[in-house]
Structure 1
């Protein structure tokens, strides 16, 4: 039971030691463990002031991780919105991320489909796959049209 500021801080620090977390995500996890909302807010605010909890670092880390897993910017944006982050911060982080999305999409396509399009049905299947991964339709179309 997390019923003191010290126990809440310790639990938060343990979670942050494993990986970066967003503020909302950390609040939710601590509340699930029985922490009082007011105490959680106070302790997390202290962590923010001390620079131990940072939305910017979390966004950077999450975007890099998901991009390396083959996810596109649209999918990553939706995942972060579902995690309670603000759209403006997400958009800023995506724009500042040093990621070549077209190159990522091309690499994913090469790994998944061996860089081959057999017929129109195959092209449609590949297009759906890339769009579901979070790449923009125009970028997908450009990539697949260049392969003909």
Structure 2
């Protein structure tokens, strides 16, 4: 007994049940399953019209999930990779700027907890923060020990 393949809409809903996906992500993941040209677009149009696909929810989800561990630079890359429009990405990144130093300090504190003893340790800590998408000025503030480290 052969099982019927799930519809494109069914596949999209299954993906959306796991986490928020942008329309571009769903198109990329489901394109191989489209058997008739245009059916994927129609299915995604319907899901978007019903509110199942919401680009703002995708942006909010990424920011809320990733901000405690990553800087604005890395989050911006992730949002762009999801195919979100430039204005939405810019707004999301701008919202992160106010807490960037505190978030970087907390990430640094969990990993290292004490200021570097020498240039090699300082470089290692700076690379760690840079790899997580924190900007150079933020890294300098964290490793410079200015403000309070508490």
- The TM-score bracket by the shorter chain reads 0.7 to 0.9
Give 1 or 2: higher helix fraction: 1
* Mapping 1:66-145, distance limit 5 Å: 66-68=66-68, 70-96=69-95, 100-145=99-144
The answer as to 2:41 corresponding to 1:41 is yes
What is the CA-CA distance between 1:74 and the residue it aligns to? 0.4
Distance change (3 Å), C-alpha of 1:141 and 1:36: farther
Could you give the per-residue CA deviations for residues 84-117 of structure 1, whole angstroms, max 9, x where no partner exists?
2222211112334597221111111011112331
Partner Cα distance (1:19, 1:78) in 2: 18
What is the CA-CA distance between 1:123 and the residue it aligns to? 0.9
Question: Structure 1 stretches of 5 or more lacking a match?
Answer: none
TM-score where L is the length of structure 2 = 0.84
Report the count of equivalent residues: 142
Partner Cα distance (1:106, 1:37) in 2: 50
Asked if 1 retains the 8 angstrom alpha-carbon contact of 2:72 and 2:97, the reply is no
- CA RMSD in angstroms comes to 2.0
Asked if 2 retains the 8 angstrom alpha-carbon contact of 1:71 and 1:134, the reply is yes
What is the CA-CA distance between 1:82 and the residue it aligns to? 2.4
Could you give the per-residue CA deviations for residues 49-74 of structure 1, whole angstroms, max 9, x where no partner exists?
11111010011101211223x11110
TM-score where L is the length of structure 1 = 0.85
Partner Cα distance (1:97, 1:139) in 2: 12
